[in-house]
């Protein structure tokens, strides 16, 4: 069973529907007992980093996530959920993340061409940098769907794929049993479902 962590931020039920489409049971929950019984965890997120980080901590979910991942349970952060895995974000100030993966979250405006639109929205090809079990069913040139204005930086040792948007932006990361996708698998059609399927097989 997959627990989609509900802390008041995220595209929860489309994720649940995506797991149902591949025949996997997923529950949307903020119940610590349910999360502890789950085989895998999903940390979703949309919106502002500071607000999401505060909700994670005030709900107690930050401590639960750290405990469960320390015990070896697979965790996937999606979009803002991926960004929360890092040490800090510089989105409208400086804010502490979960510190599960080394690195910082910075504005894409610092690295992309000035004439490109922000946020980065749309389909982009995944450029795989390192083998990952999440990519076992993908083909070269597969595209996924992004919506973001910030990206994970200072994290070269954990990057498994990037997307080209005049600069290489971190698309996915991995450290042990902790995984992150800047893109939205639940909005990425068959390719996204293949990534979720691979996660369920970890």
The per-residue pLDDT for range 161-175, each reduced to its tens digit, is 999 999 999 999 999
**Does residue 184 contact residue 8 with C-beta atoms inside 8 Å?**
no
Buried residues in 129-152 as b, exposed as e (16+ CB within 10 A): eeebebbeebeeebebbbebebbb
Give this prediction's pTM: 0.97
Closest listed residue to residue 35, CA positions, set 73, 78, 82, 86? 73
pLDDT at 133 > cutoff 80: yes
User: What domains sit in the chain, N to C, each tagged with a CATH number?
Assistant: 2-200 (3.40.50.880)
pLDDT of res. 140: 87
Name all contacts of 112-117 with Cβ < 8 Å and 24+ positions apart: 112/165, 112/166, 112/167, 112/169, 113/166, 113/167, 116/165, 116/166
Instruction: Return the H-helix or E-strand segment holding 31.
Output: none
Closest listed residue to residue 191, CA positions, set 125, 148, 143? 143
Active site residues: 79, 184, 186
Residue 55 backbone zone (phi > 0: left; psi -120 to 50: alpha; other: beta): alpha
The three-class DSSP label of residue 79 is: coil
The per-residue pLDDT for range 105-122, each reduced to its tens digit, is 999 999 999 999 999 999
Q: Band the pLDDT of 156: cuts 50, 70, 90.
A: very high
Contacts of 55 (CB under 8 A, 6+ apart): 7, 8, 9, 61
| Mean of all residue pLDDT scores within the chain | 97
pLDDT of res. 135: 97
Kindly state the DSSP code that residue 63 receives in the 8-state scheme. Answer: H
Closest listed residue to residue 100, CA positions, set 3, 160, 174? 174
Closest listed residue to residue 192, CA positions, set 1, 18, 25? 18
In the structure encoding, which two tokens stand for residue 67, read together? 């405990």
């Amino acid at each position: 069973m997959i627990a989609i962590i509900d802390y008041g931020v995220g595209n929860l039920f489309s994720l649940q529907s995506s797991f149902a489409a591949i025949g996997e049971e997923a529950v949307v929950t903020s119940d610590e007992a349910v999360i502890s019984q789950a085989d895998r965890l999903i940390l979703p997120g949309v919106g502002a980093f500071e607000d999401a980080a505060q909700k994670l901590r005030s709900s107690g979910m930050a401590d639960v996530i750290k405990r469960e991942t320390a015990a070896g349970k697979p965790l996937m952060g999606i979009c803002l959920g991926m960004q929360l895995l890092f040490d800090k974000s510089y989105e409208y100030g400086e804010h502490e993340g979960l510190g599960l993966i080394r690195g910082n979250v910075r504005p894409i405006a610092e690295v992309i061409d000035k004439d490109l639109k922000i946020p980065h929205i749309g389909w982009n090809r995944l450029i795989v940098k390192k083998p990952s079990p999440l990519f076992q069913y993908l083909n070269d040139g597969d595209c996924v769907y992004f919506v973001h204005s910030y990206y994970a930086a200072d994290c070269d040792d954990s990057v498994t794929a990037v997307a080209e948007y005049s600069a290489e932006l971190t698309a996915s990361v991995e450290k042990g049993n902790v995984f992150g996708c800047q893109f939205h698998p639940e909005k990425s059609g068959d390719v996204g479902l293949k990534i979720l399927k691979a996660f369920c097989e970890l």
